[in-house]
């Protein structure tokens, strides 16, 4: 496990360290809400590392860093420092980033089902299904926000229908970017950027993509 953490980026380690210090400082000051949020943020940002270890897969450090940044920005900065209200574009950025990530995850999951066979289905079809996966996850999140507002009197939707529709439109844009990255990868354009992340995941997990030869050569 120590090797897994050693392979992570310096930025991810710094964020984990800052969150750990925030938990200790909040506990020392008796600020229980801050301690709870900081601890939840730390736990959720570490969850992919332990999940990958349990599933015996290797997640590229760059993708782990993106997850850590997203979770920290959503929960810690968004809720503790009220970034959602201070910056109108914060919610847009969070939804767009998550949709891109889900588009990549959706593509990788579908590619795993075909064991890395690039010719098992047309690239446009695989990209379409990864787009649908990302958009479906975005829609489920909006249902979750509605449920939290209705059942517990929270204000996750803020402006109601306008907020929901804006979030879904941003999700569409992010899902398109994630799906397009998968399409570019299948077309052999995996030279850095988001397609490069897919290629790195495939190369680091050859047993899951036997028919594809373990990524670009």
pLDDT tens by residue, the chain, 217 residues: 666 677 889 999 999 999 999 999 999 999 888 888 899 899 999 999 999 889 889 998 988 999 999 999 988 888 788 888 899 899 899 999 999 999 999 999 999 998 888 878 899 999 999 999 999 999 998 898 888 778 767 667 777 788 889 999 999 999 999 999 999 999 887 567 889 889 989 999 998 888 765 555 4
| Residue 119 CA to its chain's centroid (Å) | 27
List of long-range contacts for 184-187, beta carbons under 8 Å, 24+ apart: 185/107, 186/118, 186/123, 186/126, 186/127, 187/123
Note the pLDDT of residue 214.
54
Note the pLDDT of residue 16.
94
Q: Return d(Cα 47, Cα 194) in angstroms, integer.
A: 22
């Amino acid at each position: 496990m120590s090797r897994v953490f050693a392979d992570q980026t310096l930025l991810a380690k710094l964020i984990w360290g800052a969150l750990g210090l925030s938990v200790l400082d909040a506990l020392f000051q008796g600020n229980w809400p801050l301690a709870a949020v900081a601890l939840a943020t730390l736990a959720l940002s570490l969850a992919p590392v332990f999940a990958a270890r349990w599933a015996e897969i290797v997640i590229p450090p760059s993708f782990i860093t993106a997850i850590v940044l997203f979770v920290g920005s959503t929960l810690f900065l968004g809720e503790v420092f009220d970034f959602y209200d201070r910056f109108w574009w914060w919610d847009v950025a969070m939804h767009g980033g998550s949709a891109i990530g889900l588009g990549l995850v959706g593509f990788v999951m579908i590619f795993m089902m075909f064991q890395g066979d690039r010719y098992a289905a047309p690239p446009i079809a695989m990209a379409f299904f990864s787009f649908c996966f990302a958009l479906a996850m975005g829609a489920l999140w909006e249902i979750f926000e509605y449920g939290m507002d209705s059942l517990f009197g929270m204000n996750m939707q803020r402006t109601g229908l306008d907020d929901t529709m804006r979030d879904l439109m941003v999700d569409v844009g992010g899902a398109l970017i994630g799906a397009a990255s998968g399409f570019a990868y299948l077309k052999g354009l995996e030279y850095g950027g988001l397609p490069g992340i897919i290629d790195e995941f495939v190369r680091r997990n050859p047993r899951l993509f036997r028919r594809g030869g373990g990524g670009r050569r």
